[in-house]
Amino acid sequence: MRNLKLIISYDGTRYRGWQRLAGEPNTIQGKLESTLSRILEEPIEISGSGRTDAGAHAMRQVASFHCQNPMSCETLLQQLRTYLPEDIGVQSCQEAGLRFHARLNAVSKTYVYRVWNSEAPCVFERKYVYRMDASLDLNAMRQAASHFLGQHDFLSFCSNKKFKKSSVRTIHRLEIESVGPELRFTVEGDGFLYNMVRIIVGTLLEVGMGRKAPQEIPDILAAKNRELAGYTVPANGLILWEVAYQ
């Protein structure tokens, strides 16, 4: 028995998200599992570091799986690159310790969210940015962003109303860079609730538009009420950037 670790990039535009769904061939996990099972000639189930939403992307998603086939990592990598569609790219394939698990061992994740804040067209990267041309107060947004840092209960920033487990998470970094007409949000934390990054970005954009004040963020967090936070920005601007392990 071996345990292998993959680092994968994908353009999520035409997929129903990461997670395998019964009867739905068009998921990233499903596509990887069926391709791996065919190449390795044994049924393969992979564990990703976490799910990504329908339409969201990944630069360096991590997945692990057990298999019996002794095929070298190099050959498997070549085969995967041959058989996977061009919107799923395997960056690397490595032997991992038998106890390594892509989700359970992840200690932090970084997401990037890209906003194209201009009336000008964004032809070439249109599938990877959320377009909105409202005028935004970047200072107010950065002030609001600072309130998210550290450990908080993020229930107000979770779309899943029936969430039963702990909704306490720690955000280590939340930066907003201005790159030409683009605003780029980088969020790093120990884990994220369902839609949490997209609701945080939507809330920061509402602050930027003057609909919310930066100092409201602590109250919104304290209220544990999804209704008080901002809107959920679209998935296509979201990219899982990287996953860190100990």
Q: Is 113 in the site for a second copy (CB under 8 A)?
A: no
Q: Is 243 in the site for a second copy (CB under 8 A)?
A: no
Phi, psi values for residue 221, rounded to 5°: -60, -45
Report the residue number, 90 or 145, with the smaller CB distance to a second copy.
Answer: 90
Among 34, 71, 73, 89, binds a second copy (CB under 8 A): 89
CA 128 to chain CA centroid, nearest Å:
13
C-alpha–C-alpha distance, residues 141 and 145, integer Å: 6
Beta 182-189 vs 168-179: how paired, if at all? antiparallel
C-beta of 78: minimal distance to a second copy in Å?
8
C-alpha–C-alpha distance, residues 154 and 172, integer Å: 14
53 is catalytic: yes
Report the residue number, 131 or 198, with the smaller CB distance to a second copy.
Answer: 131
C-beta of 202: minimal distance to a second copy in Å?
22
Q: Is 119 in the site for a second copy (CB under 8 A)?
A: yes
C-beta of 94: minimal distance to a second copy in Å?
15
Q: What residues from 47 to 76 belong to the interface with a second copy (CB under 8 A)? A: 57
Orientation of helix 28-40 relative to helix 73-83, angle to 10°? 120
C-beta of 67: minimal distance to a second copy in Å?
21
C-beta of 89: minimal distance to a second copy in Å?
2
Among 23, 70, 121, 180, binds a second copy (CB under 8 A): 121
C-alpha–C-alpha distance, residues 20 and 213, integer Å: 40
CA dist 193 → 13, 163, 199, 239 (Å): 22, 9, 10, 15
Q: Is 134 in the site for a second copy (CB under 8 A)?
A: no
# residues near a second copy by CB under 8 A: 19
Give the helix/strand (H/E) hosting 142: helix 138-146
Instruction: Please give the radius of gyration of the chain, using alpha carbons only, rounded to the nearest integer.
Output: 19
Report the residue number, 48 or 214, with the smaller CB distance to a second copy.
Answer: 48
Q: Give the amino acid at 144.
A: A
Residues carrying an active site annotation = 53
Residues within the interface to a second copy (CB under 8 A): 9-11, 57, 81, 86-91, 119-124, 126, 128
